[in-house]
Chains A and B, each alone.
Chain A
Amino acid sequence: MNAITSFFVRFAYYLEASETYHRAKEFCRTLLEYQHSKLKFYFDIFMVFLVVISVLFLLYEVKHPDGLIYLDDFIQFSLVIFVIEYLLRFWISSDSHKLFLERYEYAINNNLPFSLTRAILAILKKKLDYVISPLAIIDLLAILPSFRPLRFLRIFILFRIFKLFRYARSMKTFTAIITEKKFELFTLAIFASFVIFTGSSAIYIFETQQNPKINTLFDALYWAIVTMGTVGYGDIVPVTTEGMVVAMLLIIFGVATIAFLTSIIVSSFQSKLVELKESRTFADVDKLENYIVICGYGRVGEVVAKMLHEDGYKLVIIDNDENKIKLAQQRGLIGIVADASKSRILGELGVGKRASQIICATNSDELNVFITLTARSLSKKIIIIARVIKNTHKKKYFLAGANYAFSADETIGLMGAQYITQPISYAALDEMLTENTGVIFDILILHEHAYFANQPVEALNLSEKRLMLFGILRKEETPSFQFNPSSDFMLHHHDMLIIMGRKHHINSLRKLNDQGNMR
């Protein structure tokens, strides 16, 4: 290994180890690339502002060639910004040292000779790929005309307008459409240029002598395109019969070409539009924190979503039925048409990051278990609640990592049997579960400054307050639940009292508990 190679290797390792370098690069990426970063959002607005002002200045200059002093300074300033931006984008487009090390380590590990030239060529190729990418070319064209020797390229300042593509997400769709339909558009372009070439050469051959307006091939080309585009200014008109035939044919081909072009772009737009809308919804989800993902918007999902939505919980609903999602969206919920069994979808929806709970409420056990498993693999902390369809599968849900799983049929079985033997206790159970009568279960937490802490249960004086203590949860003890504690049971800090009664009675008890220590 010669000195130069060893220098490069050492330098690459140095970069790899340098925290400052990584942090700087990461910062630039947040600023320029990461779709959801706040920083990029402000930077984009700033750049749009620069672009618009510099183009306006160009327009101003048309009539006022002397310009304004401040504006000139401003243009210089914007140029500096654009150059810096260009260089930064060039820098972060790829990790050269990584590429270098990859090749180096590959060579070392496999006992192959390491070629410095080839590694550098690979790096350069990667960088070149970036330089010739459409957006990079636009960036470059937006900078070049500002240099004095290239003043004649001033019109290219208009290219700065194209730079706006970078800063607006929906603008990117246009670029995407064009790249996606590359093949169709290319075919069409070949056909169109063939027609134009034939048309313009025909008119040139037939009319150069007779028609005073057609003197050069350029005139013929201009006429052919104007005619083909169905614009037909009428400044140049064919005078010979042959020329008229050419014009007629050209018009027919022109209409066909334009219809073709329009249909390509429209159809591609339509398919893109759905995607665009979806990405909007994903962007909405990105703004949420601590939300609940509901997979399946069937009857169960609907009931849950409605109740949680009314309570102000943030929800994201996934279903593969478009109509159901439409229904959800009409109800003001965030809905996404997607197959929840695709693990990519759950990841994109932030399961594992910002979602706090996930509800598997589809009508298939296989799907529910699969979603449970996927969600658990994405996050250890997320709370998974699953609806079991067939009771025999319940165990699998817990194996897959669900926190809660239960089947409606089981509850139906219990309640149905209860109804036969004990109709009144069935009614009690029904009212306790549905809370239709206004009697609810609630939790009173004995926090740090709670009035009732270190007092016996007796002190709560619940029967006078028309409340009932169902039991006490004490998380640090096992069993954690103490059913119906006796009246001399001492309450501790952090105890959770499960109380039954009317809401306003519970609230007045809570108030007493909260302000108690002030006395």
Chain B
Amino acid sequence: MIEGKILLFGFNRSAIEIGARLKEQGFAFTYIDNDASLLPKAKKLGFDLVIADYSDDETLLSFGIGEDVTFVFTLFEEDVHNVFLTLSIRALDPHVDIVATTHTKDAIHKLQIAGASTILDPYQICGKRIYKLITQPEIMQVIDATIFGEADINMEQITITEHSALNGTLLSECYPTQNYNMLLIGLHDKELQKEFIFITEGHNHKLDQGDILVVIGKSAEIERFKMDFSL
């Protein structure tokens, strides 16, 4: 579970979607916007919306940035707001995770410079999906149905713990997911800089405490795997 607060700046459709999912998973979070006319809508949907002038550093500090805020989303329709907000927050706290959305290609680079941890580009994602639907419809249908969809096949990350039987083993020697109906997609090796490495890259990893495996499979199977390897 995450400790610390989650702040979502900008109350719009993307924000509502993210909020709905966070709520499902039991996270507490706060919406912040400067448009008071959105209040009734937020109330109707059952979300907490704070109206504040986010361009003011004092206000940002009062929300707990630099203290107990761990995640910030900047979801405004205007890239100008997103870039400015990202920059302000990064200046106040160099460690907070900032997820920024953008609506133009040029803003991606600016958000990176401003210090966003990750950038979500809805149009790019949407365009890419349409492209995949046309070029490889079968694959997209499968991905949609499994990872995004209702089917009970999920993607999950598993961290190797100190007492796990997997701690200290070589991936080439034991293919850990063999006896489970799940796929090991790749992993995050603490010793390597790269965030995520696909298993098909063929490196022979030594699993250590703190390494993270990413698997796809039925939730029950993943649970069974976690139990068996005391993860």
| A residues at B contact (CB < 8 Å) | 292, 298-304, 307-308, 311, 313, 357, 359, 361, 383, 385, 387, 389-391, 404, 406-434, 437, 439, 441-443, 463, 466-468, 470-471, 473, 481, 483-484, 496, 498, 500-502, 505
Contact = CB atoms under 8 A, between A and B. Distances in A.
Contact of A416 (B73, B104, B135): B73
B156 A425 contact: yes
Q: Which of B99, B124, B185, B200 has the largest count of A CB atoms less than 10 A from its CB?
A: B200
Interface string B141-166: 01111111000010111000000000
A459 B14 CA distance: 45
B195 interface: yes
A306 to B, nearest CB: 8
A377 to B, nearest CB: 22
A298 B103 CA distance: 11
B120 interface: yes
Contact of B18 (A308, A413, A502): A413
A430 B128 CA distance: 11
- Sorted from nearest, which 3 A-B pairs have the closest CB atoms? A413-B17, A303-B127, A408-B122
B201 A412 contact: no
Contacts, number: 200
Given A439-B200, A441-B143, 5 more contacts: A303-B127, A412-B101, A412-B125, A420-B22, A424-B157
A419 B99 contact: yes
A498 B140 CA distance: 10
A500 B142 CA distance: 13
A412 B139 contact: no
Given A417-B18, A484-B183, A424 B153 contact: no
A466 B201 contact: yes
A441 B188 contact: no
A496 B137 CA distance: 12
Contacts of B14: 408-409, 412-413, 416
B146 A419 contact: no
Q: Range of interface residues on chain B?
A: 35 or more
16 contacts: A300-B127, A303-B126, A304-B130, A304-B131, A304-B134, A308-B135, A407-B126, A408-B126, A414-B148, A417-B22, A419-B99, A425-B214, A428-B186, A441-B139, A463-B175, A483-B153
Given A303-B128, A427-B196, A308 B143 contact: no
B155 A429 contact: yes
Given A413-B14, A483-B181, A428 B214 contact: yes
A414 B133 CA distance: 19
A391 B13 contact: yes
Interface in B7-23: 13-14, 16-22
B36 interface: no
A422 B155 CA distance: 9
Contacts of A443: 136, 138-139
A439 B196 CA distance: 12
B99 A468 contact: no
B179 to A, nearest CB: 10
B21 A417 contact: yes
A311 B126 contact: no
A483 B146 contact: yes
A362 to B, nearest CB: 12
Interface of B: 2, 6, 13-14, 16-22, 24-25, 27, 71, 73, 97, 99, 101, 103-104, 118, 120, 122-131, 133-140, 142-148, 153, 155-157, 175, 181-183, 185-186, 188, 195-196, 198-202, 212, 214, 216-217
A240 B6 CA distance: 101
A390 B127 CA distance: 16
B190 to A, nearest CB: 11
Contacts of A404: 133, 140
B128 A471 contact: no
Contacts of A407: 13, 126
Contacts of A439: 198, 200-201
A484 B181 contact: yes
Given A416-B18, A420-B22, A498 B138 contact: yes
B127 A304 contact: yes
A65 B23 CA distance: 99
A442 B200 CA distance: 14
Nearest to A302: B127
B160 to A, nearest CB: 12
A498 B139 contact: yes
A426 B139 CA distance: 19
B17 A303 contact: no
Given A308-B134, A424-B196, A429-B155, A406 B129 contact: yes
A204 B127 CA distance: 78
B134 A357 contact: yes
Contact of A299 (B103, B128, B142, B188): B103
Contact of A409 (B17, B99, B155): B17
Contacts of A308: 131, 134-135
Given A390-B13, A404-B133, A501-B200, A420 B195 contact: no
Nearest to A313: B134
Contact of A428 (B101, B139, B145, B155): B155
A500 to B, nearest CB: 6
Contact of B71 (A420, A425, A427, A502): A420
A411 B181 contact: no
A481 B129 CA distance: 20
B202 A299 contact: no
A386 to B, nearest CB: 9
